[in-house]
Structure 1
Amino acid sequence: MYVPFEQLPPHSRVWIYQSAAELREDKLAVVRETLRSFCDQWEVHGMPLTTSFCVRYDHFIVLGVDEQQSQASGCSIDSSVHVMKQAGALLGVDLFDRTQVAFLRSGEMVFLGIAQLKKAFAEGIINPSTPAFNNLVDTKYALDTKWLVPAAESWLKRYIPQVSNPVND
């Protein structure tokens, strides 16, 4: 059963799907229609789930489910993955490319491949305080509080070059 995303409680489970290509209004209409239909019929073992979705920054599709009454199981999660693959095909975008990391630099979206991160930090393209999207968050509360954080406060910190401080003897 679909509900507006704002009505999902903070403990709701979320999955974030990222598109490096901007989802323009014509594509957003396809996303809304596809996911609204899916959310209206998404169930686990014949019991409807309270579900929703939202699109953020025109690059992220967030699918959510309130697991208070019924938890999403393997089969129901598989059905959500299937519909997201369908949505990606309809949109002509890859919603499953986990090699691209999204940053918000000066109000603009920047996507960098994982292999580019050390160089991008070293060259100042991004820095430790550049907001990064942590698509690993798994609850609505974490989405609201820990999704967009400075790179240095995320799993990306391992790619930030360490400044060596010479010891004075």
Structure 2
Amino acid sequence: MLVDIEGLEEDARVLIFPGDRKFYPEETEEVDKIMTALLAELPIRSFYKLFFDRFIVVILSSDQTFDISMNDQLIEVIQNFERKYNISLIDKVKVFFKQGEFIQSKEVPDFKKLIKNKSVSRGTMVFNHFVHTKREFEEAWETPAEESWISHFF
């Protein structure tokens, strides 16, 4: 059952599937339709949003049981998106960051080169896909590089 994000508790479980590129408008329509239908049918309170046409974010209530078959359904849908749209959504080891109004993704070695060349700084906004709860998502998903999992690269 879909609810607004405010309808979920602070420790609700967050799943983020970062796209290595933006979804095209026709793709976002289909992603929205499929994700909404899937989560509306689940017997658990959930929230979904496609942020920046790039990040599929699912938040699942922590006060209800989320069984493995629901997880399998969700992963199957995400993998179908990957195949259909030739997009990577499960690779969370890439660094996703803002450069002006654009969101970039780089492999870690390439991001380190950007640091060395001073193309990014400690204040560069990065996306932390390792957040686990709604509270962490709201407070630390978009964060300066110096406060993220890549801070040790500086």
Contact 1:30 1:91 in 2 (8 A): no
CA pair 11-4 structure 1, distance change in 2 beyond 3 A: same
Match of 1:94? Answer: 88
Structure 1 residue 10 displacement after superposition:
2.7
Once superposed, what is the RMSD of the aligned Cα atoms?
1.6
Structure 1 residue 4 displacement after superposition:
3.3
Identity level (%): 21
Structure 1 window deviating more from structure 2 (141-150 vs 86-95): it is 86-95
Match of 1:14? Answer: 14
Match of 1:74? Answer: 68
Equivalent position to 1:142, from 120, 126, 136: 136
Contact 1:5 1:54 in 2 (8 A): no
- Across the two proteins, how many residue pairs are aligned to each other? 154
Q: Secondary structure at the match of 1:155?
A: coil
Match of 1:3? Answer: 3
* Aligned partner letter, 1:59: R
Where structure 1 has 5 or more consecutive residues not aligned to the other structure, the ranges are 43-47, 161-169
- Distance in 2 (CA, whole Å) between partners of 1:64 and 1:90 is 24
TM-score by length of 1: 0.83
Where structure 2 has 5 or more consecutive residues not aligned to the other structure, the ranges are none
- Distance in 2 (CA, whole Å) between partners of 1:6 and 1:87 is 27
Equivalent position to 2:45, from 25, 45, 50: 50
